[in-house]
Amino acid sequence: MRIIVIGAGKVGYTLAEHLTQEEHDVTVIDKNDDVIERCSGSLDVICIKGNGANAKVLLEAGVEKANIVIASTESDESNMLACLIAKRLGAQYTIARIRDPEFNESQTLLQNELGIDVAINPERATALEISRLLRYPFAGSIESFARGLVEMVEFRAQEKDAIVGIPMKDLASKVPHLPRILYAMVERNNSVIIPDGNFAILPGDKVFVSGDMVTITEFFRFLGRYSQKIRSVMLLGGGRISYYLSRLIVPMGIHVTLFELDSQKARRLSELLPRVDVIYGDGTDQDLLQEQGLSQVDAFVSLSNRDEENLMTALYASRSGVQKTIAKNSRMAYMDVLNDLGLDSVISPQVITSSTILRYVRARENSNGTHIERLYRLIDGNAEAIEFVARKGDPYIGIPLKDLNTRKGSLVSVIVHQGKIIIPFGKDHIEEGDHVIIVSRNLGISDLNEVLYR
């Protein structure tokens, strides 16, 4: 597909990188010389310097032949205008990054009037993910499928866990009361493993399990991980993510203390969030944190604009005995180091955004194939979990899984049939309209027929 990416900041660059890996023809537009030089030197893309909301620049980029235009600059207004002009000049589909909370209420109207097919708010999407992690503090990450019926939860195996050291094929007999979930994927020593019957989980492994919400809860309660609910949270930084997160979790009965170093921003947040304790001060100051009761809170979330501050402050909070720590990180190069340090809950707005856009791109690319409902990139982008809706007439319909070939490095994780959750075995089969969740080490899958075939 021909795709134009306007704005090659952190989100735009990540998108362009992933799209070229999936062999799309990508053109990047940016006004900054350094950004253009970086993209042309490291990515297989066409680079054009200029304003993406300028019709002349868009025509130079071939907008009239573009399948998708993605506007991801720092300016919401520029993104919306770029999408409007691109649509008028012949682009088939447009995607805009719209971040300002003031646009939320009128977002549907804006999309209809400006010809925006998809509007994405990275900060709100990040806040939603953090709110899920606060509901399940034992998890490193949580992904939701089939309209919330199915969850995939990541956790780090411990030596005391009943599942450790036992081959998968023997778990049912040796741990008879263990709730039945699917062990979808394991990360060990920076390698992605799809477990088979002979595989055994070891201490330190990152394990991804999937199932319905009740069974997942029972599984972690069986392991002794289902800890006390989060009642109090400290937030470092008063940006948009902190604003959206506070709006989400305060109604859940969670008390929020928010640190902001800018006095005007702190004053504004105290007006917008009257039920939040907004502290004007340096949230990285250890004395200030302890003075405000760091060791007594249940969770600490670092959301400043500096990755180093986020990571170091989250580590300090963890060392101070805080039950759950979450850090925002924008640099993928840090991920291996973070794993070694034991920071399991690290979130990246650009990864969340790029996963959302990639799902849409694949759906457009595969408009005549199996419909993609959800797509999540896992394990630092080295694996994916994808939800498909099975299509009538496809060759895998009605055939037991044991009689089908499954693409190497892929696994059918869950089948949802008429609202019923099925952890699939060889005799199970897929019917038309079923929601099918697969996990795979293979990136770029856009059709269920690429995974299951005769």
Same domain as 102, residue 50: yes
In a domain, residue 257? The reply is yes
Q: Are residues 359 and 332 in the same domain?
A: no
Where a domain ends, among 78, 95, 120?
A: 120
Residue 227 within a domain: no
Mean pLDDT of 380-400: 90
pLDDT exceeding 90 applies to what percent of the chain? 63
Instruction: Check residue 7 and give its pLDDT.
Output: 95
pLDDT of residue 213: 82
Q: pLDDT per residue over 48-58, tens digit each?
A: 999 999 999 99
Structural domains of the chain, count: 4
Both 290 and 385 in one domain: the answer is no
Does 152 reside within a domain? yes
pLDDT at 339 over 70: no
336 and 433 housed in the same domain: no
Pair type for strands 346-347 and 232-236: unpaired
The boundaries of the domain holding residue 280 are 233-347
Residue type, 367: S
Q: Is the pLDDT of residue 237 over 90?
A: yes
Q: Is residue 437 a part of any domain in this protein? A: yes
Residues 384, 366 share a domain: yes
317, 408: one domain:
no
Domain-terminating residue out of 347, 363, 398: 347
Q: Domain holding 136: CATH number?
A: 3.30.70.1450
Radius of gyration of the chain (CA): 23
End of a domain among 300, 316, 347? 347
Please indicate, yes or no, if residue 140 is contained in any of the structural domains.
yes
Q: Verify that 331 and 246 share a domain, yes or no.
A: yes
Average confidence (pLDDT) over 198-222: 92
* 412 is a domain residue: yes
CATH number at residue 308: 3.40.50.720
Q: What is the pLDDT of residue 228?
A: 67
For the cut 90, the answer to whether the pLDDT of residue 381 exceeds it is no
| Share above pLDDT 70 across residues of the chain, in percent, rounded to a whole number | 95
| pLDDT at position 349 | 86
> Distance from CA of residue 398 to its chain's centroid?
32
Q: Output the pTM of the full model.
A: 0.76
Q: Assess whether 115 and 7 both reside in one domain.
A: yes
pLDDT digits (tens, 9 = 90+) for 405-442: 999 999 999 999 998 999 898 899 999 999 999 999 98
Mean pLDDT, the chain, integer = 89
Residue 178 and residue 288 in one domain:
no
Same domain? 433 vs 339:
no
- Residue 228 in any domain: the answer is no
Q: Are residues 18 and 109 in the same domain?
A: yes
Quick one: three-class SS letters along the chain?
A: CEEEEECCCHHHHHHHHHHHHCCCEEEEEECCHHHHHHHHHHCCCEEEECCCCCHHHHHHCCHHHCCEEEECCCCHHHHHHHHHHHHHCCCCEEEEECCCHHHCCCHHHHHHHHCCCEEECHHHHHHHHHHHHHHCCCCCEEEEEHHHCEEEEEEECCCCCCCECCEHHHHHHHCCCCCCCEEEEEEECCEEECCCCCCEECCCCEEEEEEEHHHHHHHHHHCCCCCCCCCEEEEECCCHHHHHHHHHHHHHCCEEEEEECCHHHHHHHHHHCCCCEEEECCCCCHHHHHHCCHHHCCEEEECCCCHHHHHHHHHHHHHCCCCEEEEECCCHHHHHHHHHHCCCCEECHHHHHHHHHHHHHHHHHCCCCCEEEEEEEECCCCEEEEEEECCCCCCCECCCHHHCEECCCEEEEEEEECCEEECCCCCCCECCCCEEEEEECCCCCCCHHHCEEC
Predicted pLDDT of residue 341: 65
Residues 76 and 157 in one domain: no
**pLDDT tens digits, one per residue of 119-147:** 888 898 899 889 988 888 888 888 888 87
| Residue 307, in any domain of the structure | yes
